[in-house]
Structure 1
Amino acid sequence: MDMVQRPLDLDAVQAFVSVAELGSFTRAAETMRTTQAAVSLKLKRLETRLGCRLVERTPRRVQLSGRGASFLDHARSLLEAHERALAGFTAARQRLAIGMSDHVAGPELPALIARMNAQDPQMLIEIRIGSSAELLQSFDRRELDTVIVRLHAGRADGEVLVEEKFGWFAAPGWRRRAGEPLPVATMAEPCGVRAIAAELLDAAGVPWTEIFVGGGVAAVAAAVMAGLGVAALAPRMLPFGAVDVGPKLGLPDLPRLPVVLHTRLKEDRPRDTLAALSAAFRSAVRG
């Protein structure tokens, strides 16, 4: 069989699509639950098969070549056709129930859901947003297969996905009134970030008062941008233009807070979908 007739290796095509979408051989390897060397080998074989370079590799980033960009849509279509063919032999959709802390599920959530769906279009995905404590309780009651939450006191299990920077943010032009306690917008209890922020302010002797309590990060961010006060949040959770006023006001440094994955999944199919979610999340948070 000559080069033109020989079929493409679907694993190699999947490796190429993962590298293209995640911009990283490391993240692609996490998604495919293999090694970076194995992904590189698959991609090299695909490039040899097609007779052209698909990816330009530099020390700092991965970028598609012109031929690679042209091939990407065809590669996706090939994988989708493969999934549709398999779906005809699949029984009921498998369900994957995931809980995400409100401090974790940021503006990247649509892209994360799309990445999971691309990994397995036949998987029925359920996502529940809540506080870390509430989600961990649901996980322990086996109501959720997986949770991605902030590190919780008293829990030593789970896999740390990333450690995320936090700061004291306020709206542009916001000024603290002299002689008054620091106005702080927070999440409702129980919230681990709220507890850490309060403990650090108290330890530093900074007088403060709760000016706003939100039922979610979006509400707290809205209060900040409305000029009500400051909040302890991750930069990616805030609209463009929010300012970290911690250094200027002499507020205590906030620690980098881990994002932890807890799962009981053992079957290959849902674990593949979860691996795609984890890799995409790491890429989104680390940029």
Structure 2
Amino acid sequence: MIDRRLDLDSVHAFVLIAELGNFTRAAEATGTTQSAISLKLKRLEDKLGSKLLERTPRYVKLSSSGAAFLEAARELLKAHDQAISVFSEARQRLAIGISDHVAGPELPALIARMNARDPRLLIEIRIGSSSDLLQSFDRRDLDAVVARMHVGRDDGQILSQEKFGWFASPDWHHRAGEPIPIATMPEPCGVKIMASELLDKAGVSWDEVFVGGGVAAVAAAVMAGIGVAALTRRMLPLGAIDVGPQLGLPALPRLPVVLHSRAQGGRRQEAITALSAALKNAVGA
């Protein structure tokens, strides 16, 4: 009789690789090495007698068997967590702040993944400006913050570097001779300060025509044709175009995404490590 009892660590490795689409990110999420993740996957495939992933130098994708197994694998891990939660200590709280310029459209999926990974954690997510969130972190109101690199701080772990551009709706056209209409967020938004300083230094005439309370509002203004905004492409709906080169606007730098965390060991640090890996994958670092 063939023994097909599954090793849960191997199943967990498979689910992470499938969700992150990347062996390196899966290794980071579990605090191990890429070779260890690959070995776990191989053991699982050998146990099942089927190849679960197709791996090339450029991408990782599910095989037909992997796609069929993925939901069952998630359910197996969920059932395991529910079973051991009966004997677990009291529920722990994990408060994380994520900068509005970092929390993209993939945030709901990231939160769901964190909750599914450890239902015993009470996860609190706050969205705000990097400045406000870092002040809350320094007051110890937050356990961790994922923010843009903030002027005057050199602490934290750089997760990725993300490219910014001057984006507009494909239907928007600049009227010759008029200032560039800019949609932005209120100060102390670091991206606004950086963008305005670069425009002034380049001698570009510009006018603030819209101030949104968050990136989603600014992105909506851009797609409504109100003006141009300094954003990353993943923050905008498909179709937005980078008009910087054609308007002669100053190039925007790649801005670091930085993790500040005081969680040391245990489930909270594991959750933050997994979130960091997922964010790296989303940003494309």
TM class by shorter chain equals over 0.9
Matches within 5 A, 1:208-223: 208-223=206-221
Whether the aligned pair in 2 keeps the contact of 1:17 and 1:75 (CA below 8 Å) is yes
**Alpha-carbon offset, residue 204 of structure 1:** 0.4
Which residue does 2:102 correspond to in 1?
104
After superposition, the C-alpha distances for 1:153-203 in whole angstroms (9 at most, x for unaligned) are 111111111111111111222122222221111100101000110110011
Asked if the contact 1:95/1:126 (under 8 Å) is kept, the reply is yes
CA distance in 2, matches of 1:106, 1:52: 35
5 Å-filtered alignment, 1:48-59, equals 48-59=46-57
Q: How many residues align?
A: 285
Determine if the alignment matches structure 1 residue 37 to structure 2 residue 5.
Answer: no
SS of the counterpart of 1:185?
A: strand
- 1:95-134 to structure 2, matched below 5 A, reads 95-134=93-132
Secondary structure at the residue paired with 1:236?
Answer: helix
Q: Distance in 1 between matches of 2:227 and 2:51?
A: 52
What amino acid does structure 2 have at the position aligned with 1:284? A
CA deviation after TM superposition for structure 1 residue 48, in Å: 1.7
The aligned counterpart of 2:274 is 276
SS state at 2:153 partner? coil
Query: What is aligned with 1:197?
Result: 195
Question: How far is the alpha carbon of 1:238 from its aligned partner?
Answer: 1.1
Cα distance between partner residues in 1 of 2:67 and 2:218: 40
Q: Who is 1:70 aligned against? A: 68
Runs of 4+ residues over 3 Å off in structure 1: none
Q: Tell which deviates more after alignment, 138-147 or 210-219.
A: 210-219
Show CA shifts across 1:232-285 (max 9, x none): 111111122222111110000000111111000002211111121111111112
Matches within 5 A, 1:80-95: 80-95=78-93
Amino acid at match of 1:280: A
Shift in Å at residue 8 of structure 1?
1.6
Structure 1: which 5+ runs fail to align?
Answer: none
1:115–1:276 contact (8 Å) kept in structure 2 = no
Q: 85-94 vs 247-256, which deviates more?
A: 85-94
| Structure 1 residue aligned with 2:237 | 239
Cα RMSD (Å) of the superposition? Answer: 1.4
Give the C-alpha shift of residue 218 in structure 1.
1.1
Superposed displacement of residue 66, structure 1:
2.1
Deviation digits for residues 218-239 of structure 1 (CA, Å, limit 9, x no counterpart): 1111221222211111111112
- State yes or no: 1:252 paired with 2:250: yes
Partner of residue 148 from structure 1, selected from 136, 146, 149: 146
**CA–CA separation in structure 2 for the residues paired with 1:174 and 1:136:** 36
| TM superposition shift of 1:88 | 0.6
Q: Which residue of 2 aligns with 1:180?
A: 178
Verify: 1:139 aligned to 2:137, yes or no. yes
5+ unaligned residues in a row in structure 2: which ranges? none
Name the CA distance, whole Å, in 1 between partners of 2:276 and 2:250.
31
Contact conserved, 2:78 with 2:117, CA < 8 A, in 1?
Answer: no
Give, in angstroms, the shift of residue 210 of structure 1: 1.0
Deviation at 1:22, TM superposition (A): 1.2
* Distance in 2 separating the partners of 1:211 and 1:191: 16
Give me the whole-angstrom Cα distance separating, in 2, the residues matched to 1:128 and 1:275.
18
Aligned AA for 1:185?
Answer: A
Cα distance, 1:91 vs. partner?
3.2
Task: Quote the offset at 1:50 in angstroms.
Answer: 1.9
C-alpha displacement of 1:7: 2.8
3-state SS in 1 of match to 2:91: coil
CA contact (8 A) 1:183 1:208 kept: yes
